[in-house]
Structure 1
Amino acid sequence: MRLFCCSLLLFLFFGCSNTGKKHNNLIEFIPDNASLIIKTNNLESLNSSLKNNDFIERFSKTTAYNRLQEKLKPLALLKPLNEVVLCLSEGVNDNLDFTVITKLNSNIFETDSLPNYTEETLTYKNKTIIKSTLNDNSFYTASIDSVLVVSSSKSIVENTFSSFNDDDEFKKAYRTTSNDKSCSIIIKPNSEFISTFFIEDFLTLNNFTEYLALDVEMNQNSIYFNGITKALASSKKLINIFKNTYPQVNQTQYITPSNSDGFMSFTFNDFKILESNLLKYQQKDSLMSNAILLNDVVEVGVIYEDKNRAIVLNSVDVIATKDALIAEQSVADTYREIEIYNFSQPKLFVETFSPLISDTHANLYCILDNFFVFSSQMDMLQNIIASYQNKTTFSNSLIFEDTKEKLSDASSILQINNASALKNIFDKNLGSDEKFKIVEYNQSAIQFIYDNNFAHVNGVVNKNKTRGSINSVSEELNIKLDNDILNTPQFVTNHITKHKEIVVQDVNNNLYLISNKGKILWKKRLQGPVLGRIEQIDIYKNGRLQLAFATPKKVYVLDRKGREVKPFSLNFKDKITQPLAIFDYDKRKDYRLLVTQGKNVLMYNVKGKIVSGFKFKSAKNAVVCKPEHFRIGSKDYIIIKTNKNLYVLDRLGKIRVKPKQSFSYTNQPVFLYNNTFTTTSESGDLVSVNPLGNVSLRKLNLSNNHFIETTSKTLVTQSENKLFIKNKTTELDFGNYVNPKIFYINDKIYVSTTDLQSHKIYLFDSASKLLPNFPVYGNSTIELNNIDKDKNLEFVTIGESNAIILYQIN
């Protein structure tokens, strides 16, 4: 490892000391023969998205995936700090070559203590290349102008010293990609890795376009992508047949039976323009003589049913289109009062629209309102007629409703697939019939929307949503982390969307921010476990929220990208013993941060400076819970509690109220309940102190291991298996219960508790009535809220030791 780092650094500072042009843009190092390029700004987040995505998990069982994973094993050693570009190329003898390009940093490789790892230094034209071998897999590394290039191919690395990517069209496509998605993919249609997106065998990417640049967003149960595709006007690519046409609203879904494999629809505003473009593409002088049938058509659809096809014409002038069929009035059959006619030119559609339509011998047709449907299969036409009349088409399915949310209404080409068709498309790309099951992905989609010399691309691979019945509890996400979970997951607010996101820490002290769709937004290593809850503050008073919390040796303030906000973090020599307390006395965002260290309490402002006016420095004994701030009327009260004393202070840290009685207190927090400062004593009683110092005692006979939680008027206690809500006690099964929690949402009170022994989460209303379909599985307290502004509440908990579960209450 030392040899590796020293060689790289020497090369970086001395080997590149020529006076030539510096190259530090990653795109310049992409090999010319790369046919699939993957870009990400967060490799760790991408790895987590891949690990947690259900579709990728199913695909990972394929031979092709495992071969690729084996080939890319050396990449696990990489620890990049910013953008990473992965390129896949076809090498000699049909071998797969990979190339990784990223900015150099001093800790880019972690190879210390790796068994079966060796490295050697090679020289190429006075340049340094390092050959590394791990478990018989070799890869090569070089550094050029602060850019690190790692490849399985020695020749690719050698070429980076003298040859830089100068493909302007490729660079334009690359620059359209985003920096804030799971990843971006650039596909060259000659790719050996992705050959088609289409059901039609003759419709390949190679004859369709030149470049695709797609931004990909992966959630647990879905993959979305959008971007552009482009082909030069001089190139013979099918996407150009839509030049000078305007996309129309697709309607083939209104006539496609829900039991079909799917459909493809292509639209245009003027068939004459499309016809002219098709003639150029097909290098013909003219189309078939009766193309007059298509003059008033704005959409052509192909319905797929196994190997069978039906062609759908969507006409804007039904009478004119019927007139074009006046010679085709020979009735073959009547089904449900719909006449099915013979059609004498079955090759019309293939010869007109090839390769968009192929292998179709349409010698029958029927008319359903503005749709003219052609097929060679009588039973297929009958199925279309029945589905149209029964309203059991794609457009009537709930699955399609979910799919079209990510699509535009109008498109030049739209293809919708069921699970079987999607599987067949993957098999064509993989070159084999791989055994992986995706039956739950019963509608995926891709659409192309032609614009000025390019087309927009949108795509969806969506797992079928299970529609929850009223009052049901459905598992929405199950997110696996790299390590076991250390603390209870909680919700925080995304100040941009106003939705909730999830923050959680693992046993290696990595803090994660996770979107409410299951995407890991970032992961940050902390110096120690988070104490208590993470709070949110607006340190700049501009509406942007930061995360504020303490670990045993530091106080952190992080922005929504996980970056430390200056002057934080603050380092402490002595141990912090309680969660960070944050006070905002007048709701003006003039925050005070209270740090507890044993008996001592320190107050800081948001500039990280000690507030000198706060006079309270130390209690007589160790503080046993987080300091609290309450306001009653116009007066502020700061509560600091030890096992022997309850300190009720003013803003300056002076004693404002002295309780007239003292008790041996528990470690339970202090709450403002019925305008009194309320907690519990070691004898299991409720102790309340009013603003005059008067003390009241309420006998509750709580066990030694009890919990308390209150709102201003609602008291909840948990004592062994007895849950007390207001004035009602509910006896639960004996178990190991965590502290109960109260949630006040939409003018309703909910109370939760969890039995860690039986892994059951209970949720009650304010009348101590268990909500329907509870208990559910879980291994921690919960956080309950509306995370996405629909009508349903969600809650998050720990599932397996390394996973968090997001439930929805329907």
Structure 2
Amino acid sequence: MYFRLISEIQTILFLKTKTLLVTLLFLVMASGLSYVYFFKKDKGVEIQRLIPANSLGLITVNNVSEAIKDYSSYPWWDEANSLPFISRLTEANGKIDSLVKSGVLQSKINENPVYVSFHLTSNNSIDPLFFIGSDGFEWLPTNIKKLANLWFNKDLFFESRVFNEKLIYEANVQESTWGFISLGSYLVISTNSVLLEDVIRAEEDESSRLMKSELKMDENQKGVSLLLNTDRVGRLRNVFTGNNESSPNQLKGLINIKIEPSSAGLTFNGISLLNQEINQDLPSNALINVENFIPSSASFVRWFGIDESQNASLSGFDISLFQTLQNSEICEVNIVLGANTMSQVLLSEVSDVSKISKMLEEISKASRAEGDTLFTESFINNEIRFVNEEQFLVKTYGDRYQKSGKPYYAFFNNVMLISDNIDALKTVLVDYDAENTWGRIPEKRRYLDNLVREANITQLNNFEFYLDPLVNSFNPKWKAFFKDHIQLFSSFDNFNFQINEASSRLIVSAELTFNESVKRPLVRDSNRNSDPINPKIGLNLVTNAYGNGKLTTKPFVVKNHNNNAQEIIFQDELNQLYLVDRTGNILWKKELEGKINGAIEQIDFYANRKLQYLMFTDSAVYLIDRNGDDVEGFPMAFATELPITQYSVVDYDNSKNYRYATTDRRGNVYLLSKEGEMLEGWSPKVMGSALRGVPEHIRIRGRDCFVIVEANGNIHLLNRKGEEYPGFPYKTDKQISGDYFIQQGPSFNESYIKVLSEDGELLSLDFNGSVKGRNQLVKPSVSSRFIAVRDKLNTGLLTVRKDSNQFTVFDEKGQRKFGYDFKGQGDWAFEYYNFRNDSELYVAQNLTTGDLVILDDQGREKFSQEAFSINPIGILYYQNKREYELFVNFDNQMAIYTFTK
């Protein structure tokens, strides 16, 4: 359908951004073959007579030398030039200039127009054809052969073959069959010489040409442009993904797109050619709306109009009225959940909430299974409901949603949210409640305001969140290519695409922007490059602050609710609590009656968007506001058999009616109210052994669950009353090591608890208590010890095997990633940070000696130092700067360092 085509057009435009730079290299290299030529009469063959009909698109470079000069003047060029083929491009262009100056080359061929046509040649390959024009002369094969020998610095063996009475010359170069033909004033070159046969067919027969006689190219167009063949792009996605899905085109024709560089990135402006029939099935115009509901973490967003469906029917449901009540305009938001899986949420402004709500309630009642109650879940003071109809989304919104499942829906003011993933829908509501949306963040709002406000299609890609799922959707060949050059692609910021219909022509506009890592290189203060305590650690010191005694907690990064700025809170051995801003200024300090146990969390106690700091000591619950004052009623004293060691904050329905799930070192679990009072049934819930992590809350289809994993191998799944669900407790009969991980699904059967035993068995257990998988890792020696490490961003679970002087990292499937040699005895802690876009970090820290090592995804050292700190560290990553921040407490100092990716 059309939306799939739009996605494919977006894909090819994105790839052309990269391909443009790649192909310019070949253009100049090919141009360099014309060291010598003989002047003859120009036969005047028009370029449009040579471009085969099966071309994906045609790039025109009016002047290669000027294009390089223009593009290289922008700050992102250095990033692009880091790619080997781009650096060779500039080198080749410089070589041609030097040959002209020395007199070996008598004409600046790199200042003539050059054309590149792209063709699908296999299931996963795209090959180019190069057309290099002359300036009043004809290319002679004898001289081209000599020039090829000079260029490749070796004697090539050329063979000729005849195709339709035309000679094609071929030579084996760098594991490919390189070929060329001379057709009038054009030299045509390809690394896949079979494509040259298509050129010969095009010259002889108009039906084999991309551009028919009634269509004309703009030969006076300057710079770089792309002629996009919409008839062929439907196959492009399969080349990159390896799928064989058919995708019928809804467009027919050619679109000429002008490409312009700027300091921000690249812009694309295009229009379909005159005198051609374009069969278009565009949706109606749609405004850019509901910005306040689009999460900042949305991977991409589409705005489009829906037209009344005259033929669609669904169990007596009036689809046409349903669409009309939404003003026939939809915003589709895609959110990455889990392992790079994108889920869709549809947003629409509704003209009559009560009427459309009644329609959905009626179909919900009619579609529910016999004996089932009507599903309703309260969330942020809203009701989420369910339609038990598999075909609902595809019937009401079109074939794009053919694979979508049964939807959930909710209303917020006059906006309807609908999705087949309840957690994606909740994500939109949570970010709206937190004002963390494109409409509420000034920089993102300004970006939206610069778009055309109304178009048939508007699409926005947010590469911070879109790049990972895009790359992971590719087949191994293209995935490897993107991974090899991830530094360039991770510098992409946003890509927007808009298409309009005007007077039977299509108008296309698009923009690719780069993030701050290439637009404004980070300028560092030379006075900040040294640390008076650790002058040789190899990190850049950003700021530091000092306590009155030795610091005893990690630095906790918190948010200033007044301006959303980051601040840091920590405690020293004198039990003094400090709040520090990013410049190192101490905002306040406050003495507590004991040492903090566990983390420091922020909650919105009064549900007024103002945040307080929650923490536990041996004998009290503290809640402190951002001015350093105790919240009324706190500290709350409580008596337990043993001190609380860790806790988690639970908010069942995001209504700010908090619960605190706590545990002591013996494994007793207490559930406290928002005010800090113990709740019935949890005072305590006796487990029997220490826990492998804090009790965790999860909600699945309105059912609240607490996951509790004991070190002795018992796994519990409790409801809000502290009662076990059927199938639990589950006894593994093995000691559990390290962290555990919860993979949430849409049902109990599709949700999993993953644990690792000390002897290396990975176990996956669903929420019905059934084992779904076992994987025994190899244990090379009796002393080998396995430790499960959960990603700090909660995306997965890795395994670390610790041997005498080495640790080895395994992925979630138990496949070895890398090993690392280390020394020193003591209590080693391991952490894993799965930042997006190949920015993972692995941390090993000796909590006895303070030794610290930070590794990248290949096991290469980013930083290491002995006796660094015995306190746990924290790390943040900023993609727009391509920079990590390390937060650490040692002695009486809190410090923030940076290091680059």
**TM-score after normalising by structure 2:** 0.41
With the length of structure 1 as denominator, give the TM-score of the two structures: 0.45
Radius of gyration: which is bigger? 1
